[in-house]
């Protein structure tokens, strides 16, 4: 079973279909792995053992009866704790929602259940997805399986660490400014931010509604494609949901053909601020693509230089509005002052006790940016920059098929290294944020080992609704790199056995 859980999700699905293993055995093996190593990693906030095994047994019975099942039926999955799950706690990494049990499932969770994927549990995250290191979680930080003294990225570090540590073959993340792709880069996993609106946001606890997007976290590009195909599709309950048919992502990932593909290197996202070894792995990856027949083109997106500043006005503004619902009146935590409590004093006490420092910081910043007299100067100006970023993308995609950059400027930094310097923390998302401002899809996959033997990532971006291009280039590069490495990059990670690194 140790060998089986290290296989890709596609390989596990094939083994299930061939009768080599049962879903109950596979699910139990992952639960055992969680029990063995998660005490050190803290990737999971809640483990759903009983329900996961019940789902697995049901799939085994249906398969034995000859019922036609989804290709991933019986393969376990983990879900980021910002996605609501009926009957399971959903906290968004915050004390203000501690113990809350949602009465309904998010649309993507409904799809996972309908397809027969046992849900192992809910993964740790920065509080309300506000952070780049999973250190702002009210339930303690998650640790990187490559080095437990380092961060696993954020906000979705729990999902990335769980997949990287073989606790789950598949996971769901959400990406508002890079929270799927940046954790993927620093944990040696694959993370995809789909086109905005192609995966329903119904049932996601919103931080910034115009930026949030759920997507897959996996160990291979093909696995991401398979999970993406499952969770994508129109949802009438989400007013921003696209009506486009779901693409043939898995077929694109398997094609491994980049001949004639034009890959644009973004000049603004490869120079100053990016670690030399991260840039070196990026350059080597591009060389592999060029040798395989891709055309490498230099492009400029000048307004990307302003994307970080615009994002940190738009996102807090939307967050301050979305988080207003957490008032101590309707659900979650309620703190009642001892003397003459009023609605206002209860709200103040509840939000003061329930929200962490980073959440408070962003609420204050967003409220200020939206206030009378400052709206046009800050929020309005940021939206104008957003339009310029979208125009940069449009101009670039007239010249190339996909764009490329390093996913994150550095490898995983040490726990506590940047927690007291918000500006330094925010800089980790400099390469990923433009995609969220424009609503275009992006993928991050391992590009090799950099400083201290830690993984680096390469990011590809495609036009909106052209997610298949990401899987085409990602699948091809993954095969080329693994051939040169002699196998998956995760095989080079330090072993996690019984908590010993």
Q: What mean pLDDT is predicted for residues 479-495?
A: 92
* Residues above pLDDT 70, as percent of the chain: 99
Question: What is the length of the chain?
Answer: 501
Residue 342 has pLDDT above 90, yes or no: yes
Q: What mean pLDDT is predicted for residues 153-173?
A: 98
**Residue 303 domain flag:** no
Pairing type for strands 402-406 and 455-461 reads antiparallel
| Prediction pTM value | 0.97
Tens of pLDDT, residue by residue over 300-335, are 999 999 999 999 999 999 999 999 999 998 888 999
Residues acting as catalytic residues: 80, 155, 179
Residue 226 has pLDDT above 80, yes or no: yes
Query: What separation in angstroms does the CA of 412 have from each of 158, 168, 169, 218, 471?
Result: 14, 21, 22, 18, 25
**Residue 375 domain flag:** no
- The two tokens of residue 154 are 């954020």
Which residue's entry shows tokens 């935590």?
Answer: 333
Tens of pLDDT, residue by residue over 30-50, are 999 999 999 999 999 999 999
**Residue 288 domain flag:** no
Query: What separation in angstroms does the CA of 135 have from each of 107, 189, 414, 483?
Result: 28, 19, 11, 35
The region, left, alpha or beta by phi > 0 then psi within -120 to 50, assigned to residue 151 is: beta
**Residue 239 domain flag:** yes
Of 39, 373, 319, the C-alpha closest to 206 is 319
Domain count, the chain: 1
- Predicted confidence band of residue 495 (pLDDT cuts 50, 70, 90): low
**Residue 310 domain flag:** no
Q: Return the beta strands (E) in 60-212 as ranges.
A: 77-80, 119-123, 170-174, 190-193
Tens of pLDDT, residue by residue over 432-444, are 999 999 999 999 9
User: In terms of DSSP H, where are the helices of 46-139?
Assistant: 49-64, 107-115
**Residue 364 domain flag:** no
* Residue 228, domain CATH: 3.90.1300.10
Q: What are the φ and ψ backbone dihedral angles of 241, each rounded to 5 degrees?
A: -70, 130
Q: How far apart are CA 457 and CA 447, in angstroms?
A: 5
Predicted pLDDT at 498: 38
Predicted pLDDT at 452: 85
Query: What separation in angstroms does the CA of 86 have from each of 109, 170, 203, 347?
Result: 9, 20, 10, 26
H/E run at residue 156: none
Does residue 437 contact residue 307 with C-beta atoms inside 8 Å?
yes
Predicted pLDDT at 2: 83
Predicted pLDDT at 103: 96
**Residue 251 domain flag:** yes
Predicted pLDDT at 372: 85
H/E run at residue 311: helix 307-322
Residue 501 has pLDDT above 70, yes or no: no
**Residue 40 domain flag:** yes
Tens of pLDDT, residue by residue over 64-89, are 999 999 999 999 999 999 999 999 99
Range of the domain at 114: 1-257+442-492
């Amino acid at each position: 079973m140790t060998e089986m859980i290290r296989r890709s999700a596609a390989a596990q699905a094939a083994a299930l279909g061939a009768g080599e293993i049962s879903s109950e055995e596979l699910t139990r093996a992952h639960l055992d792995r969680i029990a063995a190593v998660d005490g050190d990693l803290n990737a999971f906030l809640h483990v759903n053992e009983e329900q996961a095994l019940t789902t697995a047994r049901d799939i085994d019975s249906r398969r034995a009866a000859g019922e036609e099942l989804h290709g991933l039926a019986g393969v376990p999955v983990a879900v980021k704790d910002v996605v609501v799950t009926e009957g399971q706690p959903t906290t968004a990494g915050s004390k203000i929602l501690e113990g809350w049990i949602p009465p309904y499932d998010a649309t993507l969770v409904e799809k996972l259940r309908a397809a027969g994927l046992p849900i192992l549990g809910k993964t740790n995250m920065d509080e309300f997805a506000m952070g780049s290191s999973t250190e702002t979680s009210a339930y303690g930080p998650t640790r990187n399986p490559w080095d437990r003294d380092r961060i696993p990225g954020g906000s979705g570090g729990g999902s990335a660490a769980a997949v990287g540590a073989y606790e789950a073959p598949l996971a769901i993340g959400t990406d508002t400014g890079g929270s799927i792709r940046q954790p993927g880069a620093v944990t040696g996993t694959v993370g995809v931010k789909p086109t905005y609106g192609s995966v329903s946001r119904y049932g996601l606890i919103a931080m910034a509604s115009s930026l949030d997007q759920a997507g897959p976290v996996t160990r291979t590009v093909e696995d991401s494609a398979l999970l993406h195909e499952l969770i994508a599709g129109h949802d009438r309950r989400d007013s921003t949901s696209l009506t486009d048919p779901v693409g043939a992502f898995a077929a694109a990932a398997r094609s491994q053909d980049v001949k004639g593909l034009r890959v644009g290197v973004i000049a603004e996202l490869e120079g100053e601020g990016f670690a030399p070894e991260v840039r070196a792995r990026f350059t080597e990856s591009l060389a592999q693509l060029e040798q395989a027949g891709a055309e490498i083109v230099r492009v400029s997106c000048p307004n990307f230089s302003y994307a970080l500043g615009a994002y940190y006005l738009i996102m807090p503004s939307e967050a301050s509005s979305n988080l207003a619902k957490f008032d101590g009146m309707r659900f979650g935590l309620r703190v009642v002052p001892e003397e003459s409590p009023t609605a206002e004093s209860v709200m103040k006490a509840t939000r003061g006790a329930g929200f962490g420092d980073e959440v408070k910081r962003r609420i204050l910043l967003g409220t200020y940016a939206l206030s009378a007299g400052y709206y046009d100067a800050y929020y309005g100006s940021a939206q104008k920059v957003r339009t310029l970023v979208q125009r940069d993308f449009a101009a670039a995609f007239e010249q190339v098929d996909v764009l490329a950059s390093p996913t994150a400027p550095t490898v995983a930094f040490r726990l506590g290294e940047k927690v007291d310097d918000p500006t330094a923390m925010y800089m980790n998302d400099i390469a990923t944020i433009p995609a969220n401002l424009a609503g275009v899809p992006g993928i991050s996959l391992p590009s090799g080992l950099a400083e201290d033997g830690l993984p680096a990532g390469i990011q590809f971006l495609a036009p909106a609704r052209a997610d298949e291009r990401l899987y085409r280039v990602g699948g091809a590069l993954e095969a080329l790199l693994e051939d040169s490495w002699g196998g998956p990059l995760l095989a080079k990670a330090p072993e996690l056995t019984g908590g010993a690194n």
